[in-house]
Structure 1
Amino acid sequence: MREFGYHRASDSADALTALGAHPDSRFLGGGTNLVDLMKAGVERPCVLVDIRRLPLDTIEVTPDGGLHIGATVVNSDLAAHPEVRRRYPALAQAVLAGASGQLRNMATVGGNLLQRTRCAYFNDVTTPCNKRVPGSGCPAIEGEHHNHAILGASEHCASVHPSDMAVALTAFDAVVSYQTGEGPGELPISEFYLPVGDTPHRETVLPPGALVTGVTLPPAPLAAHSRFRKVRERASYAFAIGSVAAALDVQDRVVRDVRLAFGAVASRPWRAGKAERELTGAPAAPATFAAAADAELATAHPLPRNGYKVALMRNLVVAVLTELTEEARP
């Protein structure tokens, strides 16, 4: 590992100043992703700016009935918070599905949003990777890609975003807040992640040097009846090969409102807008759920060895929405 300096920030202004003083520096939260990348030589910061002591570690109910989650809230606290479990149960389930207990005790909300792909080629500095070295190529296209993207990929990159938490936040229209030297800003999570296109090394629209300060969930009574389901290759800690975050409002066996997002199928959490439109006002039945999933997956372009994800996601949507429908019956 390259030698690096360390600076413990006293407040947000101090953190931004310290980061700006060194072009190769990085913010350090829990370090559960960054430190691994440093060990592998993927990340080589000259200074780590520790933000764990900033006052960004609270979860608060907003005046309009939503929730504000600070960027340094650790994942264990997020999953256990009674208001998260009551108002947005799919978010708590996503966090609990996302890692081992030891990692959840360290990993932060801000770091979870900004974690890098787990593609083996990205993590191996002896191989080409357009996300790590722009213009070097994407060996996953012809190589090992069974867990790679089926939606929104390009010939430049087919990796998937690894966050489970971000899938639930996408379903619930979260807003990411950040701070720069010029002041605070906000980004809807639907605009936070960039399409992969021909610049896979650019992952978010955050301004350079920005410090993520928190996430706000708008009020959503629908979210109280929600679920996150993750499919993985082993029952213990593993990244998803497919996941769904869903919330459903059914009245008289008709879908009145729905939220749906997919994980592990694209370079960013995938909001299933086509499926939501197909479902709204339609009968709450397995055949409807399957047709809505098919509408969303119609633009899928799987690689030779990950086509199974199309059927997997279709079945996952049907299973989760059917369970939510049955639970809603009197």
Structure 2
Amino acid sequence: MLDERKLSVLRAIVEDYVSTQEPVGSRSLVERHGLGVSPATVRNDMAALEEDGFIAQPHTSAGRIPTDKGYRLFVDRLAAVRSLSVPERRAIETFLDGAVDVDDVVQRSVRILAQLTHQIAIVQYPSLTRSSVRHVEIVAVEHNRLLLVLITSSGRVDQRIVELEAALDDDTLATLRTRVGTATIGQRLPEASARLLDIVDQFPPEHRGIVTLVVSALTEAFSDERSDERVAVGGTSNLAQFGADFDTSIKPVLEALEEHVVLLKLLGEATSPTMLTVRIGSEVPYQELTTTSVVATGYGTEDEPLANLGIMGPTRMDYPATIASVRAVARYVGRTLDET
């Protein structure tokens, strides 16, 4: 374990290198950070940090830069995450409050996250298998047509028309609406689909054909997996300012952005909005992306995480600010979807 002074030196090296992109020397550390010790003492601490693999010298006569191990310790020992400013929080809230549906929320989220972090933002669409039924409405719109409206906990709205061979009387329609609601509201979509099948036999034979049509349409809506493997990506242009951070080429990063399966794996499994992961360099599960870091968290509610969002960028990033932005956007996205 490092003592507090060496941790302070490591912290100062990380902060300076992130800010300047230049290897950091002992004299500049003393001048900029008021460490309270001489440059010679700082050099000794830097030698110990280098021996332990936390910093490295990119070339002879240069200062030192953090290694993946150094960044990892820096992140693990963060005393506090930088709070977002009032204008930043207001910008997130105002921008997301104007969203009209799930697609709009996701697209707005990826844009604001890229703007705040100056990194590549990745937002996974809410997983239907994790969503539950918030509301189902069945409305007679014409003599032989029913409009089915599904609203899920993720804010998704699905409307479907069912063509009938004969009209339903008002009492049967009211009974159908009640039994569908009782079977599905509050249930996760897979469970709701299974419970719907049980209501067909609750109706007299002359109505079961119509009820079956309605149940089939709703079951199809519940199992529609169009959004489960979708992600939105924003801020790709931010790569231009970090070209030197990706060794010889940013091509592997650009290729990864075209593969949604890769991006989903980078974000990980949505477990809880209170859990945030930071994977640095070699911790990223793709050999081609070992010059990057990924900061990700879930969004939704603690009891019902819907999906993940996060950022990908070079290992040389402002981790405290990035973590704060990812957490804040996830919190606002979860709240916005709950109110949509």
Specify which structure has the bigger relative contact order, considering alpha-carbon pairs within 8 angstroms and separated by 6 or more residues. Answer: 2
| TM norm structure 1 | 0.21
| Structure number with bigger Rg | 2
Q: Greater share of helix residues, 1 or 2?
A: 2
Give TM-score scaled by structure 2 length. 0.21
